[in-house]
Chain A
């Protein structure tokens, strides 16, 4: 039962693909791009005239020099590798649970050094402002007194946690791990579409994709100077360590809802890569405001918990009584300062889709800087003028429920039927505060291996930002792909896949 090889021996020798003479294969004309449609305002690989962009030249040469069936074989080998590693999620049907891999694409998405530099600086700026904002609203609330953000948007948010008021947070870092979703506009500039400040996932796919795609294209991977991302678990560990009040023997655990959670692979993966315990709620207990794990040799104290369960489930004594995922008494131990929880509780109030509209103002307010990254024009349906504009233009807008994530509770106007739009309009009128609307973002397209050829599919970009004593990113991201032709929904819960992302060093 040998694993299938991902590349040929020729990938390890022969002429450097970058020094070969360029040959032109046009999108929509030549194999393997015969079915490639350049419809989106921006395509990652091809310029509007159908020629590959410089950053994709080496990949283009490799794709056009390999026989199609060899590409098919490598795509299959990538999928097998995921299946054998158990990088799967479980779909429950009537009778039995089946495991599926999250579809992974053979072709890397390439981000140039210059583009990355801008994204990196923009995200660091953004997360710094958001952390200051959280510290403010759980502290003196100056931002509300100064009228920058309406008071009721904070206190009315279901993600606002009264219990967090006045609790000091190490380094003021509420959001220790953030996964922001970026898209490109037609000029090729990156815009922030969404901040995920609660328990963002996907970083294990970033690393797993790299692992297989690097092996599928070893030659060009080497020659293109792709920046390394393998240090992510180490950076995460350093971030978590920096949250403890002392340096020596910090005891860290990753808290998972358990094996039935769709991100369980990631939880186990990160625990293993960091060399820390993976715990479930039932492994932890609180005595005298101190958190312990139950070990074979007795109880062992825990100092920092990287929790991968939602706020609502953390402590059944305070939040959901019927939850068995969390740990009774954990919140009191946290308030007593005996354990650090990362991300802090209550961060969801700042990644609310309505607060999103205020982030540029927050950056100016806290940092006295202009935002480096653009964001998407957002209509707050709570404002009467916006609401009527939204209702009049439902066929051109994307409407989203404020507190939802994962692609739920949204209407993609241009793709919805007349009756779907009418039904949604009723929901909107009934509870306008709960909705925002944005123009349809025509996500950029990137080459994706489909069937036996390369086609254009819409993608976004999710880099991961770590904040402990300082804020930093590893030079990489999860690129999510809407695998259905023309679809704009990239969420894995809604049939999306993912791609490796190559950030170039020069």
Chain B
């Protein structure tokens, strides 16, 4: 497929994943506000702001609406929900011919729905339910991406973007919660963390409702069956890489597959007890770095290569 099309599909998918993550974190956070003391609530909001990548505040304001507005609807905040959706849609428009009517229509309607929300009017909108409705639409979008597109090279570029993004988002979220400095999370915060990752019920089925940081880390890092774990995400990244650019020269493919193999081995053989005794932050930042490296090599090998290198 055209390199430019692969590029746009990949980024469209990354931005959809980012938008979905932001929407879910905000929905869960707003829904759980009533159950926390003001102090715990502040610490919890501060973690959310860090995890969603907005570092421009010196001090996080004590106003859930102001934070929500900035993280969701502020177009000047490059990582806001609406900014991510806009970029997802811009990329989709670039490759409109590579998408089905269902995928485009769903994404476009989702965008039109959220872009109609004016920042100042969110108080009137019952924001948690607004994000829940957006999440329903996002899941429908995920459904039509799966069921109305051929699972060909383009689809695997979508997979690649989605799971590289997911692994990085999970990495950042876990990093914020397992940091040794600052106010340490309480029992309720760990519950909320599981819900940020849609992981509460799958976790309890495996470990019962006794939520302990070590078990939680074990689950979100290494569970091979749960879609919002890092291990699962990396598996999907490796599989996607095996399917993209099928006709590329063996040398180019080898460079990409070597990196994927190394990352997968690191996750497959990671030991939670070793990590918990120190070094979980090193482990997480190493995963993030390797994801970034894979991104770079995929682009250099399949997308931005110079014509002179293949003629």
State whether the Cβ of B181 lies closer than 8 Å to any Cβ in chain A.
no
Q: Which residue of B lies closest to A285 (CB)?
A: B307
Cβ of B105 and Cβ of A296 under 8 Å apart?
no
Interface membership of chain B positions 99-114, coded 1 if the CB is closer than 8 angstroms to chain A and 0 otherwise: 0010011001110110
Q: Which residue of A lies closest to B101 (CB)?
A: A85
Cβ of A296 and Cβ of B3 under 8 Å apart?
yes
Chain B residues near A282 (CB, 8 Å)? 4
Interface membership of chain A positions 466-497, coded 1 if the CB is closer than 8 angstroms to chain B and 0 otherwise: 00000000000000000000000000000000
Known: A271-B97, A287-B307, A294-B2. A84 touches B112 (CB 8 A): yes
Chain B residues near A1 (CB, 8 Å)? 109-110, 113, 137
Known: A84-B105, A84-B108. A295 touches B2 (CB 8 A): yes
Q: Which residue of A lies closest to B301 (CB)?
A: A296
State whether the Cβ of B94 lies closer than 8 Å to any Cβ in chain A.
yes
**Choice from B6, B96, B105, B310 contacting A298 with Cβ under 8 Å:** B310
Interface membership of chain B positions 80-110, coded 1 if the CB is closer than 8 angstroms to chain A and 0 otherwise: 0000000000100110111001001100111
Report the minimal beta-carbon distance from A306 to chain B, rounded to whole angstroms. Answer: 13
Known: A1-B113, A84-B108, A85-B105. A293 touches B2 (CB 8 A): yes
Report the minimal beta-carbon distance from A167 to chain B, rounded to whole angstroms. Answer: 26
Cβ of A297 and Cβ of B247 under 8 Å apart?
yes
Interface membership of chain A positions 75-105, coded 1 if the CB is closer than 8 angstroms to chain B and 0 otherwise: 0000000011110000000000000000000
Q: Which residues 282-325 of A have a CB within 8 angstroms of B?
A: 282-283, 285, 287, 292-299
Cβ of B137 and Cβ of A299 under 8 Å apart?
no
Q: Which residue of A lies closest to B136 (CB)?
A: A1
Chain B residues near A299 (CB, 8 Å)? 307, 310-311
Q: How far does the alpha carbon of A282 sit from the alpha carbon of B101 in the complex, in Å?
A: 26
Q: How far does the alpha carbon of A268 sit from the alpha carbon of B245 in the complex, in Å?
A: 23
Report the minimal beta-carbon distance from A162 to chain B, rounded to whole angstroms. Answer: 30
Known: A1-B113, A84-B109, A283-B2. A278 touches B247 (CB 8 A): no
State whether the Cβ of A228 lies closer than 8 Å to any Cβ in chain B.
no
Cβ of B244 and Cβ of A296 under 8 Å apart?
yes
Known: A296-B244, A297-B247. A268 touches B108 (CB 8 A): no
Q: Which residues 111-150 of A have a CB within 8 angstroms of B?
A: none
Cβ of A259 and Cβ of B93 under 8 Å apart?
yes
State whether the Cβ of B249 lies closer than 8 Å to any Cβ in chain A.
yes
Measured as residues with beta carbon below 8 angstroms from the partner, the interface class of chain A is 20 to 34
Chain B residues near A3 (CB, 8 Å)? 105
State whether the Cβ of B248 lies closer than 8 Å to any Cβ in chain A.
yes
Q: How far does the alpha carbon of A279 sit from the alpha carbon of B4 in the complex, in Å?
A: 9
Q: How many residues of B contact A (CB 8 A)?
A: 33
Report the minimal beta-carbon distance from A477 to chain B, rounded to whole angstroms. Answer: 24
Report the minimal beta-carbon distance from B46 to chain A, rounded to whole angstroms. Answer: 32
State whether the Cβ of A235 lies closer than 8 Å to any Cβ in chain B.
no
Q: How far does the alpha carbon of A259 sit from the alpha carbon of B248 in the complex, in Å?
A: 28
State whether the Cβ of A352 lies closer than 8 Å to any Cβ in chain B.
no
Q: How far does the alpha carbon of A259 sit from the alpha carbon of B90 in the complex, in Å?
A: 9
Q: How far does the alpha carbon of A280 sit from the alpha carbon of B311 in the complex, in Å?
A: 21
State whether the Cβ of A433 lies closer than 8 Å to any Cβ in chain B.
no
Kindly name the residue among A3, A280, A295 whose own CB sees the greatest number of chain B CB atoms within 10 A. A295
Chain B residues near A293 (CB, 8 Å)? 2
Chain A residues near B104 (CB, 8 Å)? 85-86
Cβ of A86 and Cβ of B109 under 8 Å apart?
no
Cβ of A298 and Cβ of B97 under 8 Å apart?
no
Q: Which residue of A lies closest to B92 (CB)?
A: A86
Q: Which residues 95-148 of B have a CB within 8 angstroms of A?
A: 96-98, 101, 104-105, 108-110, 112-113, 137
Report the minimal beta-carbon distance from B8 to chain A, rounded to whole angstroms. Answer: 10
State whether the Cβ of B192 lies closer than 8 Å to any Cβ in chain A.
no
State whether the Cβ of A277 lies closer than 8 Å to any Cβ in chain B.
yes
Known: A287-B307, A296-B248, A298-B249. A86 touches B2 (CB 8 A): no
Q: How far does the alpha carbon of A264 sit from the alpha carbon of B109 in the complex, in Å?
A: 19
Q: How far does the alpha carbon of A264 sit from the alpha carbon of B4 in the complex, in Å?
A: 16
Cβ of A280 and Cβ of B310 under 8 Å apart?
no
Q: Which residue of B lies closest to A297 (CB)?
A: B247
Cβ of A294 and Cβ of B311 under 8 Å apart?
no
Q: Which residue of A lies closest to B154 (CB)?
A: A296
State whether the Cβ of B276 lies closer than 8 Å to any Cβ in chain A.
no
Cβ of B1 and Cβ of A295 under 8 Å apart?
yes
State whether the Cβ of A272 lies closer than 8 Å to any Cβ in chain B.
yes
State whether the Cβ of B30 lies closer than 8 Å to any Cβ in chain A.
no
Cβ of A280 and Cβ of B4 under 8 Å apart?
yes
Chain B residues near A269 (CB, 8 Å)? 96-97
Q: How far does the alpha carbon of A298 sit from the alpha carbon of B307 in the complex, in Å?
A: 9
Q: How far does the alpha carbon of A111 sit from the alpha carbon of B305 in the complex, in Å?
A: 53
State whether the Cβ of B153 lies closer than 8 Å to any Cβ in chain A.
yes
Q: Which residue of A lies closest to B105 (CB)?
A: A84
Cβ of A296 and Cβ of B311 under 8 Å apart?
no
Known: A287-B307, A296-B303. A279 touches B2 (CB 8 A): yes
Kindly name the residue among B108, B113, B244 whose own CB sees the greatest number of chain A CB atoms within 10 A. B108
Q: How far does the alpha carbon of A69 sit from the alpha carbon of B3 in the complex, in Å?
A: 49
Q: How far does the alpha carbon of A318 sit from the alpha carbon of B153 in the complex, in Å?
A: 36
State whether the Cβ of B232 lies closer than 8 Å to any Cβ in chain A.
no
Q: Which residues 347-378 of A have a CB within 8 angstroms of B?
A: none
Cβ of A86 and Cβ of B108 under 8 Å apart?
yes
Known: A85-B101, A268-B97, A285-B307. A297 touches B2 (CB 8 A): no
Q: How far does the alpha carbon of A268 sit from the alpha carbon of B93 in the complex, in Å?
A: 9
Known: A84-B108, A86-B108, A296-B6. A268 touches B96 (CB 8 A): yes
Q: Which residues 337-354 of A have a CB within 8 angstroms of B?
A: none
Cβ of B311 and Cβ of A283 under 8 Å apart?
no
Interface membership of chain A positions 256-277, coded 1 if the CB is closer than 8 angstroms to chain B and 0 otherwise: 0001000011001101100001
**Choice from A268, A271, A283, A285 contacting B4 with Cβ under 8 Å:** A283
State whether the Cβ of B202 lies closer than 8 Å to any Cβ in chain A.
no
Report the minimal beta-carbon distance from B170 to chain A, rounded to whole angstroms. Answer: 27
Q: Name 23 interchain pairs, CB-CB below 8 A, sorted by A.
A: A3-B105, A84-B105, A84-B108, A85-B104, A86-B108, A259-B93, A268-B97, A271-B97, A272-B97, A280-B4, A283-B2, A287-B311, A294-B4, A296-B6, A296-B245, A296-B248, A296-B303, A297-B245, A297-B247, A298-B249, A298-B310, A299-B310, A299-B311
Closest 7 CB pairs of A and B: A297-B247, A272-B97, A268-B96, A296-B245, A296-B302, A271-B97, A268-B97
Q: Could you list which residues of chain B lie within 8 angstroms of chain A, going by C-beta atoms?
A: 1-4, 6, 90, 93-94, 96-98, 101, 104-105, 108-110, 112-113, 137, 153, 244-249, 302-303, 305, 307, 310-311
| Given pairs A84-B112, A264-B93, A265-B96, 11 additional interface contacts (CB within 8 A) | A86-B108, A282-B4, A285-B307, A287-B307, A293-B2, A296-B153, A296-B248, A297-B245, A297-B248, A298-B248, A298-B310
